[in-house]
């Protein structure tokens, strides 16, 4: 085993009601997290770069219909999946992001294309979709992204006249799948480099054109070899107003904080505003932190001992 490798992935944080998460359903989530993290870990051990691994892990999470990204993304007020994604390379602080895209099958791959193939960091809407076509990135019909559960969830949110987090129990259907969120991955590779990626459909019944924290570098995503890699999930407006991901970095570099206290302090600022959610983070030393202030967070990780772990609730 290469002892420098570390990995963490998430499938969103929120109110994950134990009463409605049946054992069969929970197994389905756990299996998906274990499968995706296991494949990512094998790639890291085989020498893949952290950047390649976080992109592939997020692609796999985007394909899993019960998470709010790619196929199965939540829907906006028009009943359309408008997706956000970002990726950052800790070696160089190169970053790419897209917001409000409707056609790329894997928005995270489009974010990477923006990072590597354009002189920009963030492309939005129609122009971003057009860039996907220009780059030859796989696209899908808007119907591909919509699942029956998400359509029902959006209808309920519209009926209540609310914009909701997909895991908000007041305005969603009884299916616990509705309560899962944004996806993300952070990794440290065999050479000690860090990377982070995040992808989401955003919030149910959001106004068309709304972008959350996920495509905002420094809010939902950050990676820098000097400090840490971070991917966030939760009520995006509060994460933007807290510059959550950059705040973790800043507390470490300017304040000398360790990863756990940097994450707790940064998440505390989100909570001070009334925001809920969580984050996954790995630092340059290989420490891992997975804090959240909601009831649960779908997560899987591999630390120094090389053991793959999966968790939804605390403990
Ligand atoms: N952070 C995402 C957003 O606000 C939502 C989520 O994490 O579930 O767009």
Cβ(73)–Cβ(63) below 8 Å: no
Looking at ligand 1, which residue's alpha carbon is closest to its atom 4? Answer: 236
pLDDT of residue 167: 58
Q: What is the DSSP letter of 14?
A: E
By DSSP bridging, strand 94-101 and strand 122-124 are parallel
What is d(CA 292, CA 313) in angstroms, rounded to the nearest whole number? 10
Does the Cβ of 212 fall within 6 Å of ligand 1? yes
Mutate to test the pocket of ligand 1, among 68, 100, 236, 292 (most ligand atoms within 8 A of CB): 236
By DSSP bridging, strand 194-200 and strand 83-89 are antiparallel
pLDDT of residue 162: 74
Match domain 6-311 to its CATH number in 3.30.70.270, 3.60.20.30, 3.30.1740.10, 3.30.70.3400. 3.60.20.30
> Which of 109, 182, 204, 214 is the catalytic position?
182
Going by C-alpha positions, the residue among 142, 171, 139 that lies closest to residue 157 is 171
pLDDT of residue 315: 63
Task: Say if residue 308 is exposed, middle or buried (CB neighbours under 10 Å; 0-12, 13-18, 19+).
Answer: middle
Cβ(29)–Cβ(179) below 8 Å: no
Question: Helix, strand or coil for residue 185?
Answer: strand
Domain ranges of the chain: 6-311
pLDDT of residue 180: 52
Compute, in degrees rounded to 10, the torsion defined by CA atoms 53, 289, 17, 203. -60
Question: Helix, strand or coil for residue 183?
Answer: strand
Does the Cβ of 200 fall within 6 Å of ligand 1? yes
Nearest atom in ligand 1 to 212's CA: 9
182 is annotated as an active-site residue: yes
Tell me the whole-structure pTM to 2 decimals: 0.94
> What are the tokens at 189?
């590779």
pLDDT in tens, the chain (315 residues): 889 999 999 999 876 767 777 888 899 999 999 999 999 999 999 999 999 999 999 999 999 998 999 999 999 999 999 999 999 999 999 999 999 999 999 999 999 999 999 999 999 999 999 999 999 999 999 899 998 888 888 888 888 777 766 655 544 444 433 445 799 999 999 999 999 999 999 998 999 999 999 999 999 999 999 999 999 999 999 999 999 999 999 999 999 999 999 999 999 999 999 999 999 999 999 999 999 999 899 999 999 999 999 999 986
13: left (phi over 0), alpha (psi -120 to 50) or beta: beta
- How far does the centroid of ligand 1 lie from the alpha carbon of residue 142, in Å? 20
What is d(CA 56, CA 24) in angstroms, rounded to the nearest whole number? 26
Looking at ligand 1, which residue's alpha carbon is closest to its atom 8? Answer: 181
Does the Cβ of 68 fall within 6 Å of ligand 1? yes
């Amino acid at each position: 085993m290469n002892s420098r490798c570390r990995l963490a992935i998430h499938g969103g944080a929120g109110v994950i009601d134990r009463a409605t998460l049946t054992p069969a359903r929970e197994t389905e989530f756990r299996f998906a997290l274990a499968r995706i993290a296991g494949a990512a870990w094998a790639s890291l051990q085989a020498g893949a770069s952290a950047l390649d691994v976080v992109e592939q892990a997020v692609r796999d999470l985007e394909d899993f219909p019960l998470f709010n990204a790619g196929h199965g993304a939540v829907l906006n007020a028009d009943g359309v999946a408008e997706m956000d994604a970002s990726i950052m390379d800790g070696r160089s602080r190169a970053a790419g992001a897209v917001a409000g895209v409707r056609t790329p099958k894997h928005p995270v791959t489009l974010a990477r294309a923006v990072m590597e193939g354009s002189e920009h960091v963030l492309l939005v809407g129609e122009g971003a979709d057009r860039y996907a076509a220009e780059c030859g990135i796989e696209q899908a019909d808007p119907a591909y992204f919509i699942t029956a559960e998400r359509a029902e969830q959006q209808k309920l949110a519209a009926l209540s006249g609310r914009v909701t987090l997909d895991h908000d129990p007041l305005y969603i259907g009884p299916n616990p799948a509705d309560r899962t969120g944004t996806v993300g991955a952070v990794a440290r590779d065999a050479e000690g480099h860090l990377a982070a990626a995040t992808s989401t459909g955003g919030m149910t019944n959001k106004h068309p054109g709304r972008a959350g924290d996920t495509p905002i570098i420094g809010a939902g995503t950050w990676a820098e070899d000097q400090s840490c890699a971070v991917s966030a999930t939760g009520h995006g407006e509060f994460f933007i107003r807290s510059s959550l991901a950059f705040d973790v970095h800043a507390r470490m570099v300017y304040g000398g904080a360790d990863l756990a206290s940097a994450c707790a302090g940064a998440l505390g600022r989100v909570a001070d505003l009334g925001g809920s959610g969580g984050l996954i983070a790995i630092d340059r030393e290989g420490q891992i932190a997975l804090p959240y202030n909601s009831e649960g967070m779908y997560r899987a990780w591999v630390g120094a001992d090389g053991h793959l772990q999966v968790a939804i609730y605390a403990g």
